[in-house]
Chain A
Amino acid sequence: MEMFLDVLSQLAGGFVTSFLLFILTLILALPLGLLVSFCTMSKFAPLSMLSKLIVWILRGTPLMLQIFAIFYLPGILRLFIWPQMNTGWEWFDTTFSTRFIAALVAFAINYAAYFSEIFRGGIQSISQGQYEACQVLGMSKREAFFKVILLQVIKRIIPPMSNEIITLIKDTSLANTIAVYELIFEAKEFMVIDALIWPLFMAGAFYLLFVGLLTIIFGLIEKKLSYFRS
């Protein structure tokens, strides 16, 4: 019983880290994704080509690879640029917060790429007539987007978004590869140190409960937006 409570509190601590990674990724990736979707829809060809290229790379390579790249690349570049300042591998002996930030940056840009495609699909599905009605009523493009278009887009992208966001909470477990002490990392510790397997399943239950909560929240949002059809 003592063991159980011990595991529970360790895992709860890991879950807090997972949750932080999750929520901070969302806060960064949602606006960034919207910005990227504007870039890919831009009429200025170099900008749209460049952003499409970036989205392709981010969606086309494993997220784990991107985490490694963001974590190790600054150090490797530093070795190349100032070889005389070579301090060996010490530089990689990072604190928890730098590892957390590296993971966060990787998640944020990776998810921004996925979100941008969802936003693009949503924005392009709104009929031209909505924009035209705004224009003849003298609204600016900005007003049209934020006052008329955006909420319709949000309504349409809730189902694909909820899929992506549910994937995100589970993807945070990839951060354990660079020793961010998130949920799976903590559970693995019990396996390695105490030879216990059940903490891993308990970790699974944490995800399951959280995804249940997310499902309920998305259901509520969908219901809240069901008062109109577009």
Chain B
Amino acid sequence: MENMLEVKNLRKRFGQNEVLKGVSLTLKKGEVLSIIGSSGGGKTTLLRCLNFLETANSGEIVVNGKTVYRAEDGEKPELTPEAQASFGLVFQQFNLFPQYSVIDNLCLAPKLKAKREKQDRNEEIEAKARELLETVGLSEKANAYPCELSGGQQQRVAIARALMLSPEILCFDEPTSALDPELTGEVLRVIRSLKDSERTMIIVTHEMEFAKGVSDKVIFISDGVIEEEGTPEEVFVNPKSEKTKAFLSGGSK
């Protein structure tokens, strides 16, 4: 099967500080990739580069065989809407739009897109939003405002919102680490259900048990390089790298 995502030799510097030192990875359709690693290793930066919130200094991103991003050192390529639309991102801090109800949070971006394309698709968009709210188990909260929801509910809304635009690859940056421990379960359950529906996902997480259970592939990043990669068994049970062993044995953090 073709690779859905290929990342080739991605590099990112902040000033003199090189945070990603040539990261390459591949992902097939429907696969779930978990990224683990200690703090400051560059996990967030990698996701942000994939979502074009940071501009990688060099490297290439290929989605479904099509190059959506390629930069040699020093140049800054133009960002196309298609490239942006290939990826979705769920933030640690949810970042819902506080002044919109749950349903409007979901519908805002797709409706603006339809307006840009001079199409009237409001009904279709709203129907899709209700369907996705059903998926994340929040149908009855459609008209609530974000401030009326718990953290776990807000994050589930954020997941539904990211799915509205049907990104090829959905990324999560520590989706549960801003949540009280008793609320992480509901969010992880939603992510697991997405795996069952063949969503291609990249998840940065500190929840090792979850990563072990849900992933097809695991990557351990340390100091901007992929230190270890493989199936969950390979990385969690039989790690080759000393750094990975040290990380895994030092508690789950």
Residues of A at under 8 Å CB distance from B?
Answer: 127, 129-130, 132-139, 143, 147-148, 151-152, 155, 227-230
- What separation, in Å, do the CA atoms of A135 and B81 have in the docked complex? 10
- In this assembly, does B108 line the interface, its C-beta being within 8 Å of a C-beta of chain A? yes
Residues of A within 8 A of B88 (CB): 136
Do the beta carbons of B53 and A137 come within 8 Å of each other?
A: no
Q: How far is the CB of B11 from chain A (nearest CB, A)?
A: 21
- What separation, in Å, do the CA atoms of A138 and B116 have in the docked complex? 11
Residues of A within 8 A of B165 (CB): 137-138
Do the beta carbons of A138 and B91 come within 8 Å of each other?
A: no
Do the beta carbons of B51 and A136 come within 8 Å of each other?
A: yes
Do the beta carbons of A227 and B145 come within 8 Å of each other?
A: yes
Chain B residue with Cβ nearest A155: B99
Chain A residue with Cβ nearest B51: A136
Chain B residue with Cβ nearest A143: B112
- Scoring A134, A137, A151, A227 by chain B CB atoms within 10 A of each residue's CB, the highest score goes to A137
Q: How large is the interface on B (under 10, 10 to 19, 20 to 34, 35 or more residues)?
A: 20 to 34
Do the beta carbons of A152 and B99 come within 8 Å of each other?
A: yes
The 7 A-B residue pairs with the shortest CB-CB distance in the complex, in nearest-first order:
A137-B109, A133-B95, A230-B98, A129-B95, A229-B147, A228-B98, A136-B89
Q: How far is the CB of A153 from chain B (nearest CB, A)?
A: 11
Residues of A within 8 A of B84 (CB): 135-136, 138
Residues of B within 8 A of A136 (CB): 51-53, 84, 87-89, 162
Q: How far is the CB of A46 from chain B (nearest CB, A)?
A: 22
Residues of A within 8 A of B89 (CB): 132, 136
- What separation, in Å, do the CA atoms of A229 and B162 have in the docked complex? 22
Chain B residue with Cβ nearest A129: B95
- In this assembly, does B113 line the interface, its C-beta being within 8 Å of a C-beta of chain A? yes
Indicate with 1 or 0, residue by residue over B94-112, a CB within 8 angstroms of chain A CB atoms: 0111110000000011001
Do the beta carbons of B91 and A132 come within 8 Å of each other?
A: yes
Do the beta carbons of A147 and B113 come within 8 Å of each other?
A: no
Given A132-B91, A152-B99, output 13 extra A-B contacts at Cβ < 8 Å: A127-B93, A127-B95, A129-B95, A130-B97, A132-B89, A135-B52, A136-B162, A138-B85, A139-B109, A155-B99, A228-B146, A228-B147, A230-B98
Residues of B at under 8 Å CB distance from A?
Answer: 51-53, 81, 84-85, 87-89, 91, 93, 95-99, 108-109, 112-113, 145-147, 161-162, 164-165
Residues of B within 8 A of A147 (CB): 108, 112
- What separation, in Å, do the CA atoms of A151 and B113 have in the docked complex? 20
- Scoring A132, A138, A152 by chain B CB atoms within 10 A of each residue's CB, the highest score goes to A138
Residues of A within 8 A of B87 (CB): 136
Residues of A within 8 A of B53 (CB): 132, 135-136
Residues of B within 8 A of A129 (CB): 91, 93, 95
Q: How far is the CB of B77 from chain A (nearest CB, A)?
A: 16
Cβ 8 A contact of A151, one of B99, B109, B161, B162: B99
Chain B residue with Cβ nearest A149: B97
Do the beta carbons of A229 and B95 come within 8 Å of each other?
A: no
Q: How far is the CB of B205 from chain A (nearest CB, A)?
A: 19
- What separation, in Å, do the CA atoms of A137 and B84 have in the docked complex? 8
- What separation, in Å, do the CA atoms of A155 and B112 have in the docked complex? 23
- What separation, in Å, do the CA atoms of A228 and B91 have in the docked complex? 20
Q: How far is the CB of A123 from chain B (nearest CB, A)?
A: 15
Residues of B within 8 A of A151 (CB): 99
Residues of A within 8 A of B91 (CB): 129, 132-133
* Known contacts A130-B97, A152-B99, A228-B99; A137/B161 CB under 8 A: yes
Q: How far is the CB of B151 from chain A (nearest CB, A)?
A: 14
**What are 20 A-B contacts defined by CB distance under 8 Å?**
A129-B93, A130-B95, A132-B95, A133-B95, A133-B96, A135-B52, A135-B53, A136-B51, A136-B89, A137-B164, A143-B112, A148-B108, A151-B99, A152-B98, A152-B99, A155-B99, A227-B145, A228-B145, A229-B98, A230-B99
Residues of A within 8 A of B145 (CB): 227-228
- What separation, in Å, do the CA atoms of A130 and B146 have in the docked complex? 13
Chain B residue with Cβ nearest A154: B99
Residues of A within 8 A of B164 (CB): 137
